[in-house]
Amino acid sequence: MQKNNYGVIMAGGVGSRFWPMSKASLPKQFIDILGTGRSLLQQSFDRLLDICPSHQIYIVTNEMYRKITLEQLPEISTDQVLCEPMKKNTAPCIAYANFKIKALNADANIVVTPSDHLIMKQDVFSSTIIKSLDYASTKNVLLTIGIEPSRPDTGYGYINFEKYGSDFRKVLSFTEKPDLENAKIFMNSGDYSWNSGMFIWNVNSVDTALRTYLSDLYQLFDANKESLNSDKEEAYIRQVYSNCQNISIDYGIMEKANNVEVINADLGWSDLGTWGSLYEHIPKDDQNNAIVGNNVLTFNSERNIIHLPNDKFLVTQGLNDFIVVDHDNILLICNKKEEQQIKAIVEYIELNKGSDLV
C-alpha cells in the first residue's frame, strides 16, 4: 500500500430513483439496501481499505449528512468529511477534494468512486485500482474504469475506446444513456464499455485539467486555498459553492480532455441506480420474483421486485414485471419498464404534495 494513495468517496446524492426507500433525509448510500449489515457507503469505505489507509479516505457529502457519515464511519475524523453547502454536481465535489488533498500531499494519487455502487469481486477491484494508481503516478493521464456491457442498457453511459492496445486504452468519446438501438450497437462492437463513474489520477494531473477546462472553478478554489485544513475552511467552501458553476466532471473535463484513458475490468459491478438494477442482485423465487420481506405470497406473478417490511403482508395475483415498494407511509407500484420515470414522479410529488414525502 503506497503512502501516496488516497481515496475520495462521493456521497452527496439523494438517490431519487430509489424512492420511497431513499429520501432526502436518508439517501440510499446510508441504507443497507442489500441486507448485508453494512450500508452502501460503509461497503464503499471497506472496499478502499486494501488501497489506502483509513486516514487517507475522504467522504464528500452534503453538510446535512455530516452526522450520519461520522456515525456510520467511526474510523474517520471530522476533517475527512468534506461537507458541501449545496448541490453543485461532481466537478466542484472533485475539485474540493483535490485541493484539500494536494494541500496535504503534493504527490498524492487519488481514486474517486461513488458511494452507491455494488462490486462483487473485491480482489479484481483492488488489483485494478492499485495497477491504475501506479500507472497514473508517473503519467499526466485521467483514468476511468470501464465495465464490459452484459446487456444493451439505456440507463448507463458508454465509453468508446481504441480497440487495440495495452490494458490502458485511449478514450475516443463518451455517450450518455443512448437509445436501445445504439446501446445494442455499442454492446456488440467490442470497443465500448459502460462508464462506471470511477476515476484515477495523480493530484497534479487533475489540477492541470481543472485549470485548463474549468478555469473559473479552479480560480475560485485557488483564490483562498490556504483556508483549507484550517478553521476557515467551512466559510471558504461556502463562498466557493455560492459562486461556482453546477457542472459534472464528465461534461466539464472528461469529454474535453485529450489525455483520458480507460482500463476495462470485470468487477461484478452495478451502480444500483434503480430498483431494476437491484433486481439483478437479489435471490429469485421459482417465478423469478426478487422479494425482500417475510410475508409475501405471489400467484401467477413473475419477474417482480417486491420490497416490504417484515410486518406487512402482501398477496399478488397476475402481477408481472412490476416494482412494489412499501416504506414508511408510502406504497410505490411501478412498471419495471417505466422505472426511469420515478425521478420525475418524485419531482412532481415534491412540487404538488410537499417535501416531507420525498
Instruction: For helices 215-223 and 203-213, give the axis angle rounded to 10 degrees.
Output: 120
Output the CA angle 89-94-96, nearest 5 degrees.
105
Phi, psi (rounded to 5 degrees) for 93: -55, -50
DSSP one-letter string for 48-73: HTTTS-GGGEEEEEEGGGHHHHHHH-
Which SS3 state, helix, strand or coil, does residue 235 take? helix
Helix ranges (DSSP H) in the chain: 40-48, 66-72, 90-104, 122-136, 180-189, 203-213, 215-223, 233-243, 249, 275-279, 342-353
Instruction: Reply yes or no on whether the pLDDT at 251 is more than 70.
Output: yes
Which SS3 state, helix, strand or coil, does residue 146 take? strand
Q: Which residue has the higher pLDDT, 17 or 320?
A: 320
Residue 292, C-alpha cell as written in the block: 425482500
Model pLDDT, residue 1:
54
Domains delineated in the chain: 5-270 (3.90.550.10), 275-357 (no CATH)
Distance CA 12, CA 58 (A): 12
Mean pLDDT of 173-195: 90
Q: Which residue has the cell 395475483?
A: 317
Query: pLDDT band for position 231 (50/70/90)?
Result: very high
Helix ranges (DSSP H) in 214-341: 215-223, 233-243, 249, 275-279
Q: Which of 17, 20, 353, 356 is nearest to 177 (CA)?
A: 17
Give me the percent of the chain exceeding a pLDDT of 70. 100
109-128 residue pLDDT tens: 999 999 999 999 999 999 99
Integer Rg of the chain from CA: 21
Instruction: Reply yes or no on whether the pLDDT at 48 is more than 60.
Output: yes
CB neighbour list of residue 64: distance below 8 Å, 6 or more residues apart: none
Instruction: For helices 215-223 and 233-243, give the axis angle rounded to 10 degrees.
Output: 160
Q: Half-sphere exposure of residue 243, counting CA atoms within 13 Å on the CB side?
A: 13
123-182 residue pLDDT tens: 999 999 999 999 999 999 999 999 988 888 888 899 999 987 789 999 999 998 888 899
Query: pLDDT band for position 249 (50/70/90)?
Result: very high
60-103 residue pLDDT tens: 999 999 999 999 999 999 999 999 999 999 999 999 999 999 99
Residue 126, C-alpha cell as written in the block: 483492488
Mean pLDDT of 239-243: 96
Mean pLDDT of 338-346: 90
CA quadruple 198, 156, 271, 330: dihedral positive or negative?
positive
Lowest-confidence segment of 96-100, 276-280, 349-353 by average pLDDT: 276-280
Model pLDDT, residue 162:
93
Mean pLDDT of 23-44: 90
Model pLDDT, residue 288:
97
What rounded mean pLDDT belongs to the chain? 93
Mean pLDDT of 333-339: 93
Residue 17, C-alpha cell as written in the block: 430513483
Cβ neighbours, 10 Å, residue 341: 13
Judge whether 205 and 108 are in contact, CB under 8 Å. Answer: no
Judge whether 126 and 24 are in contact, CB under 8 Å. Answer: no
> 283 burial class (0-12, 13-18, 19+ CB within 10 angstroms)?
exposed
Distance CA 150, CA 184 (A): 10
Q: Which of 167, 160, 162, 164 is nearest to 185 (CA)?
A: 160
Distance CA 189, CA 206 (A): 30
Instruction: Reply yes or no on whether the pLDDT at 282 is more than 90.
Output: no
Provide the 8-state DSSP code for 163. Answer: S
Q: Which amino acid is at 268?
A: G
254-266 residue pLDDT tens: 999 999 999 999 9
Which SS3 state, helix, strand or coil, does residue 44 take? helix
Instruction: Reply yes or no on whether the pLDDT at 253 is more than 70.
Output: yes
Query: Distance of CA 34 to CAs 43, 61, 280, 307, 309, Å?
Result: 11, 22, 11, 11, 14
